[in-house]
Structure 1
């Protein structure tokens, strides 16, 4: 910790001690009740701080799984997430992978974590390609998927890129989305038709 941070923490501790002491002195008859209320408010404050600090992880881990909805006409409907994006869980090589649907991505792009989950040996991959992303240029390895299933549709031998950089979510790009004859957005749903 830096000296400025320690000084700030010391100042806050002294301020809290002074305020707490003044409060307890003014409520001498009910010190036990005052301590109990201070403890309750402290726990509420700590809970709020924990939720605030973990909110990014909570929303990323629990708010993004979206199974495709197969409609009677055979179309696949994906609901819009609260962040405005479309997410889908597809079965890749027998393993469920969560994707961000990205019409701006040329390929299916797997994160390193997801690539390892479906059986790619990251040490054996040759990251000879590169891709321009919003985060700059990243190394890319190319391969093929054995299978990918989205709703009732099973495809085999689809090309895939494995991102050599850091990536939160795998991308379902146009090399796969282009297999659908029609892509439309209506009533907060992304609809894919073959």
Structure 2
């Protein structure tokens, strides 16, 4: 059984106990103490279950969480196995997927528009092979891109003609860091 299946089985068992306690024992005054005990056991077990699933809950409630500590930037691996970071591009907030296999920064069309780039006036002449197939790209220069204290002006990037669901942060930006460490579900970018 996987962790999700175990959690689901525990949840269904607790739900059954709760329903039995409330509906099965609710009408019998002599068993009120037993019902109260089952209710407290249910509350206690739900708290344990929530605590054991805290990483999953946190990742789902706060995606793309970025922590800044001592000048370094720490990112958490998300449920899909990728690292994401919220950056500012020309002052506009953009969520990027960290892509150490990409050379350049690639903006999705909607993110490029949000950053003030006239996507209709671009020439999508460049081509790149991606995991999703061939992509048409247009070269652009970003006025400024920043992640926390680390920012760069006049940066080469590309805008995707379409089909890119999320912007990609490639090595052009990541090379600004002296060290990139991945340990477990954490990525640390050290200036």
Fold conserved (TM > 0.5)? yes
Query: Where is the strand percentage greater, Structure 1 or Structure 2?
Result: 2
TM-score scaled by length of structure 1: 0.64
Structure 1 gap segments, 5+ residues each:
1-61
Which contiguous aligned blocks of 4+ residues in structure 1 show a shift greater than 6 angstroms?
A: none
Distance in 2 of aligned mates of 1:96 and 1:145: 13
1:36-115 matches, cutoff 5 A: 65-72=63-70, 74-115=71-112
Distance in 2 of aligned mates of 1:91 and 1:67: 15
CA shift at 1:75, angstroms? 0.9
Please list the CA deviations of residues 156-194 of structure 1 after superposition, one character each: whole Å capped at 9, or x if unmatched.
111111111311110011111111111011242110011
Distance in 2 of aligned mates of 1:68 and 1:127: 32
Partner of 1:3: none
Please list the CA deviations of residues 70-119 of structure 1 after superposition, one character each: whole Å capped at 9, or x if unmatched.
112x1110011122110110011111001100111111100011111111
Please list the CA deviations of residues 29-58 of structure 1 after superposition, one character each: whole Å capped at 9, or x if unmatched.
xxxxxxxxxxxxxxxxxxxxxxxxxxxxxx
TM-score scaled by length of structure 2: 0.65
Partner of 1:189: 186
Partner of 2:122: 125
**Larger of the two Rg values belongs to structure:** 1
Number of positions where the alignment pairs a residue of Structure 1 with one of Structure 2? 132
Distance in 1 of aligned mates of 2:140 and 2:154: 9
